[in-house]
Chains A and B, each alone.
Chain A
Amino acid sequence: MMTFAPLLLVLLPVVAALVSFALPERLSAWRNGANIGVAFVKLLVVAYLLVQAQAGVVFEWRYEFLPGYDFVLRLDPLALLFVTLSVFLWLLTTIYAIAYFDRGPNLPRFFGFFNLCVLAATGVAMSGTAITFFLFYELLTLATWPLVAHRGDDKSLRAGQIYLTYTLAGSVAFLAGILWLQSLVGAIEFSAPADLGAIPPLTLTLIFILCIGGLGVKAAIIPFHGWLPEAMAAPAPVSALLHAVAVVKAGAFGIVRVIYDVYGIGTVAELGLGVPLAALASATILYGSVRALMQSDLKKRLAYSTVSQVSYIVLGASLVGPFAVIGGLVHLVHQGIMKITLFMCAGALANRMGIKAIAELDGAGRLMPVTMAAFSVGALGMIGMPPVAGFISKWYLGVGALQSDAAWAVAVLAGSSLLNAAYFLPLLYRAWLLPPPPGRPAIAELATTRDRMLILPAVVTAVVSLGAGIFASLPFSPLGWATLVGLGYLR
């Protein structure tokens, strides 16, 4: 169990994927049971790992993938931060997806790739070497494509094509970067950053640009963000997953790894690469917010909001001050739980009431009060309103910016928060204060089991978003854990 624990987290979804692929549709109850069961077991494994990690145990599993190149799964605190997030949200998304699709077509395929996707996301988190990271990162690309193109209509297929065009180009740049670096320093282990002192700064800068540029595609940094709003053609559970834990997070997480574990904060500062990256992240934050404001489709507005919010993580990582580092890391978690709340609510609204455009939200709070309450928590969190988790992120990032003498970043945060308010508050206004359009029938929001499975996951994440803000000072809170991780890098 001890050293195999990381491997278990990779193999369990394989089991669920095979079960999902193999079982015919008439046994869908078994498939659903297997999916929820496996997700739950994973959560237990992670709980065990967290307790062990608190005691200072670092699990590692390695085998020689090629002579000189090890395949390494390593659960350092940063990995656990992301693993916990993805495994927890996966359980909820699985429940949500089962209710969302009910009896749609091609579900064995959907849940099979869904599990491969979680495998890839946890694998990305646990990767201990650059090549291991790349393996899982590419698996994520491949496993996500059938999910994006799931519906098989022209729009979905086009979205899938755009998704692949962007992400494969990004992967190639990233691969070129790590191969180049490997040719200079040998295999790249995240646990022991290589000595880069002997490499000319120009080479290091070019490799950095290749890596961050490649990873930036998935993290949706401008100008590589174009695929994300297009991918909204995917079903709601996929969007929830893409935006909260899987694809964009893998990109942001990779950027964190490159800055902290491949280059090291010191080298990034010496090369003067932090400030340009922070500037790019800031531009993305503002651009994403402005574009979000311009959308009339609910999911598209949320998508541009993701473009903006994920760059907070990059901003924190690139500012390289203690509070900024912690703020960026904690936002990796906070953005995940808040954004998944929003997407699950948006999916529920579309599923139950056919609401897709923002103009249709009028009175939604009266018809689906539980859903809209969860949505409101998520939205207020995104704006940065205390006591929701988003406030903690922005507070730490702001203080961190001042510590790093980057007062301009505080202005970016403030401007972005204003924009966040500008594009989220009208939604809440419409939902709670305007009357529903005449003729829209009242619905029983939580009447059946299926309704509860559709709506309660979002309630759970909304409560967790609140809890992560209110109890931020506890050791197992996202902030507590991010502080542990951040201090490890700053030592």
Chain B
Amino acid sequence: MSPLDLLVAVPLGFMLAALLSGRAARWLILPAVPAMAGLALWLALVPPDAAYLVGHWDLPLGILLRPDGVARLMVAATALVIGAVGLHALVDPPEKAGNAAQAETFWPLIYLLWAGANAGFLTTDLFNLYVTLEMVSLAAVALAAMGSLEAALRYFMIALVGSLAYLLGVALLVGRYNTVDVTLLSQVAQPDLATMLALGLMTAGLLIKAALFPLHGWLPPAHAAAPAPASALLSAIAVKLGFVILLRLWFEAFPAVTGPTALHVLGGPGALAVIYGSVQAMRQQRLKALVAYSTVAQVGYLFLAFPLVAGAPDPSGAWAGMMLHAVAHMLAKAAMFLAAGLMLKAAAGDRIGDLGGLAQAMPLTVTAFGLAAVSLMGLPPSGGFTGKFLLLNAAIAQGAFLYAGVMILGGLLAAVYFFRTLSACFAAGPAPREPATRGVCTAAPLVLAGLAIAMGFGGSALHNLSAIAAPWAAPGAAAP
């Protein structure tokens, strides 16, 4: 027994059970949360060399699951996010009025997303990663379709292009090297045309999935239109898998091929995404569109971090900063979408100007939104601050003042649009429509946002966790 395969198998089991149990499917979240939380905790504590070969076939035939720091952090954050969102949705099912069937489709999808995301974070086999990418995309498109079919269809078409590009890249690598294992590839990869083409195709495909500017176009309509719990999962988890696979490609499989300077290919668009996403968020009048554009900006930071990791003499700080930023964004953004959903139910309309009076009517929900905003703005104490602090440190230490400036500017712009929202909540307004919400609904965003804040106090532990079997520490160290 190993938590590595259980982390994939258990949610798949829950998915099947949810499909079979129809209207009772929602109750499955009650056993699923402790089970998955326990597995995530187990994974966090396994020894660094506890890799697992699926079916016990050796490489290159078998599939390796590997508990490095990235996997541990992302799996744990995924468990927290899906767990909290699931409990929230149990009490307040995501459905349009009178359409109970829609809520039923929600449950199998979140388990599919859970299994796909966990598998994607744990595996280092590029073809296997393709499968996980498809699982996550399928779940994500279907979740988006709960809000707007049109946006979901657009998402689906674009995601399909991304998948195909990625698959083509994998096929090229198979032809060239006869292996798709990241660790084996890192030992044999050559800087030739086929490899470069494959890397380019895979990167482009994954950037679509991760919604990095200028390939972000599908994200805001899909994320803004979906029901709040679905938006939370899309923004927190679905876009992160593309990011993690890109980490595997650029830092583990092909660092020798590309060299550190090539990473500005990702860092540049990352920096632009921070500015563009923030400016767009400032221009939005609707609350959920604002939160969705903030995701475009936050994804930018993740890629802006790539050249900072590669350029640092000691990359541990920048690496930890990048991972802390990713995890803090998952927690804070999920919290923010859930809180926004509750606020919109009570508010007179979906515009920011309609939020007046909410600070009095639902103080805990506005607090959750505020705490999440603190982390997303990168203000202390929060995981968002600690991550940004480490990245800024790395940027300044290596003289990358442009990136540092973008990060600082991005934080200020985020303050503008988030404080505008909070300010609107403080304004006097009409009596809210539905001020009373049930405890769990209010607690879920508050707990997630509280965790994003709490991350600010555990920086050292998270830093060390992120460094487990990190690629920059000792290339290939995690191979069995």
Contact = CB atoms under 8 A, between A and B. Distances in A.
Contact of A176 (B408, B419, B423): B408
A185 to B, nearest CB: 12
Contacts of A153: 428
Interface string B453-465: 0000101100110
Interface string A154-193: 1001001100100011001001100110110000000000
Given A135-B381, A172-B411, A183 B393 contact: yes
Nearest to A137: B380
Contact of B423 (A67, A106, A109, A149): A149
Contacts of A138: 379-380, 385
Contacts of A131: 389
Q: Which of B380, B386, B419, B459 has the most CB of A within 10 A?
A: B380
Interface residues of B, number: 33
Nearest to B467: A67
A164 B426 contact: no
B77 interface: no
Nearest to B360: A106
A157 B426 contact: yes
Given A152-B428, A161-B423, A168-B412, 12 more contacts: A66-B459, A67-B316, A67-B317, A67-B463, A106-B359, A131-B389, A134-B380, A142-B379, A157-B426, A157-B427, A161-B419, A175-B408
Interface in B396-453: 396-397, 404, 408, 411-412, 415, 419, 423, 426-428
Nearest to A181: B396
A172 B381 contact: no
A172 B428 contact: no
A64 interface: yes
A266 interface: no
B328 to A, nearest CB: 14
21 contacts: A65-B457, A66-B320, A66-B389, A66-B459, A67-B463, A106-B359, A138-B380, A146-B426, A152-B426, A152-B428, A157-B423, A160-B426, A161-B423, A164-B415, A164-B419, A168-B412, A169-B412, A172-B411, A175-B392, A179-B396, A179-B404
Q: Identify whether the interface residues of A are mostly helix, strand, loop, or mixed.
A: helix
Q: Which 3 A-B pairs have the closest CB atoms?
A: A66-B459, A135-B380, A183-B397
A105 interface: yes
Interface residues of A, number: 35
Contact of A139 (B316, B380, B423): B380
Nearest to B366: A109
Given A66-B463, A105-B360, A152-B426, A182 B411 contact: no
B396 A65 contact: no
B374 interface: yes
Given A152-B426, A157-B423, A66 B380 contact: no
A108 B360 CA distance: 10
Nearest to A132: B380
A27 to B, nearest CB: 16
Nearest to A71: B457
Contacts of B34: none
B415 A65 contact: no
Interface string B360-401: 100100000000001000011100011001101100110000
Contacts of A160: 423, 426
A142 B374 contact: yes
A115 to B, nearest CB: 15
A131 B459 CA distance: 13
A168 B385 CA distance: 14
A66 to B, nearest CB: 4
B394 to A, nearest CB: 9
Given A66-B459, A153-B428, A180 B412 contact: no
A178 to B, nearest CB: 10
Given A65-B460, A134-B380, A135-B380, A149 B426 contact: yes
Interface in A7-22: 21
Interface in B54-102: none
A179 B392 CA distance: 8
A182 B393 contact: yes
B411 A152 contact: no
B378 to A, nearest CB: 10
Contacts of A141: 379
A21 B464 CA distance: 35
Contacts of A139: 380-381
Nearest to B398: A183
B419 A172 contact: no
Nearest to A108: B363
Contacts of B379: 138, 141-142
A152 B427 contact: yes
Contacts of B423: 149, 157, 160-161
Contacts of B459: 65-66
Contacts of A154: 427
Interface string B315-334: 01100100000000000000
A21 B359 CA distance: 13
Contacts of A105: 360
A179 B316 CA distance: 17
Contacts of A182: 393
Nearest to B428: A152
A109 B392 contact: no
Contacts of B411: 172
A120 to B, nearest CB: 11
A66 B396 contact: no
Nearest to B394: A183
Contacts of A161: 419, 423
B386 A66 contact: yes
A183 B389 CA distance: 12
A210 to B, nearest CB: 11
Contacts of B374: 142
Contacts of A172: 408, 411-412
B381 A66 contact: no
A397 B169 CA distance: 73
A146 B426 CA distance: 8
B124 to A, nearest CB: 26
Contacts of A176: 404, 408
A161 B427 CA distance: 12
Q: Which of B379, B389, B426, B457 has the most CB of A within 10 A?
A: B426
A160 B426 CA distance: 11
A64 B381 CA distance: 14
A183 B360 CA distance: 44
A180 B344 CA distance: 42
B460 A66 contact: yes
Contacts of B316: 67
B141 to A, nearest CB: 38
Nearest to A172: B408
A154 B353 CA distance: 13
Interface in A114-153: 131, 134-135, 138-139, 141-142, 145-146, 149, 152-153
Interface string A174-217: 01100110110000000000000000000000000000000000
A142 B377 CA distance: 12
A106 B396 CA distance: 43
Contacts of B464: 67
A131 B390 CA distance: 12
Interface in A51-77: 64-67
Contacts of B363: 21, 108-109
Contacts of A146: 426
Interface in A23-64: 64
